[in-house]
Amino acid sequence: MKLHSVTLHHIKMTLKTPFVNSLETVNDRELIVVEAKDTEGYIGFGEGVAFTSPWYTEETLETSWHMLKDFMIPTLKAQVLSHPSDVEHLLKGIRRNPMAKYAIEGAIWDLYAKREGISLAEALGGTAKRIKAGVAVGASEPEVMLNEISKRIEEGYERIKVKIKPSQDLSLIRAIRKFHPSIDLMADANSAYTLNDIERLKKLDQYGLLMIEQPLAADDIVDHALLQKELATPVCLDESIASFDDARRALSLNSCRIINIKPGRVGGLSVSKKIHDLCASQNIPVWCGGMLESGIGRAHNIALSSLPNFTIPGDVSASSRYWERDIILPEVIVENGSIAVPDDSGIGFELNRKELERVTLAKEIR
C-alpha cells in the first residue's frame, strides 16, 4: 500500500444528553475523522478520539491534529506498507501520542481490509458474528440514573456501567441493586480514589459488582496491586494501560483481574490485538471501552470486539444512544442485547458524506 493523500476532518457532534464523570462534563464531542486514500483509489477511515482538553490523557484534539499533519502522515506517505502492523514500527520514533497513532493506523487497517476484500473483523482475526452490547450511564442525580438504567435494560443492554466518586458511590450502588439485583453492573471511578479509601471501596464487595474500573491514579500500577489484594471485587485497569508493556507489567504485579482495551488509549488496533492475546494467554478477560466515538470509531470497536477474549460486553452501544444522527450508514443498532459484526469489506459501514459535511469544522488534505 502506498498512501496518495490523507484528509483530516475536524468534526463536532452534539450529544443527546451531557456525559458526566468525576473529571469532566462533555456536551459536544469533537473528533478527527481520518480519510486515507492509496494510489489505487481505495479509501479507509479512522478516528482520532482525543478530547479538546487533557482531562482523560495528556493528548488533545489539537495536539493530535498537529502530530498527524506534521509528523505521522509525512512519515507514512514516504513508505510502502505491506501490512497495517507496519505502522506501529514506522511511528516508533514518535514518543507516545497514542490517539493520533490510532487515528491513522485505524484508517490504514480499514484500507487494507478493503483492498483484501475482507471485513476488518476478519483482518484482525475476529470470530464472533455478534457482540454483546454494554452501556455507560453518566453521573447525575441518583433518580435520573436509575431511570436511565431501567431504560437501557429495556433496550436490551446486558451490562451497565455507572460512574462513581466518594460523594456518590455506596448509596448509588445500593439503590441500583435494590431495583436491579441481578444485572451485570460495574462501577467506573476515573481515578477518584486513593489507597486511603480502601475501607470504603471494600464495602462495595457486598454488591456483586462485575468490576471496579480505574479506582486509583491514571498512571499507577503498583498501588492498584495493593488495592486488588484487599478487594473481592475485580479491579479493571483503563487509563493505567497505555501500552502493551503497561499491560504486561500490570499482569505481572497482579494489579488487576480485568483489562479495558481502548485502541485509542493504547496506540492502535495492532497493539490492542497484542494486549488481547497476552490477556488470553493468562486467562484475563478483556472488554472494549468507549470514548464517545462517532460511527467510524464505533465500527472499529465492533471489529476489535469480535476477537475471542472479549468476553465481557463493552461500551459499544447503538448510534442512537449518543447521536440524533450518526456519520455512518447504516447506523449501529442493538438487537436483543447484541450488535451484528459486519461482514462487508473494511469497517462494513459507509460514510454519510452529507452528515460529515454538516458537522465538519475544519478540513485539511495532506
Binding residues for Mg(2+): 188, 213, 238
Of 163, 165, 273, 274, which residue is the catalytic one? 163
- C-alpha span between 98 and 88 (Å, rounded): 10
Catalytic site includes residue 151: no
Catalytic site includes residue 129: no
DSSP-based three-state secondary structure for 283? coil
Q: How far is CA 215 from CA 66, 78, 267, in A?
A: 32, 43, 22
Rg (CA), the chain: 20
**Contact predicate 53/23, CB 8 Å:** no
Of 132, 262, 273, 274, which residue is the catalytic one? 262
> Residue 52 burial (CB < 10 Å; 0-12/13-18/19+)?
middle
Question: What H or E segment, with its residue span, contains residue 17?
Answer: strand 3-20
Which amino acid, residue 70?
D
Q: Which residue has the cell 485497569?
A: 237
Residues in the annotated binding site: 188, 213, 238
Ramachandran class of 41: left when φ > 0, alpha when ψ lies in -120 to 50, beta otherwise: left
- Residues annotated as catalytic (active site), given as ranges: 163, 262
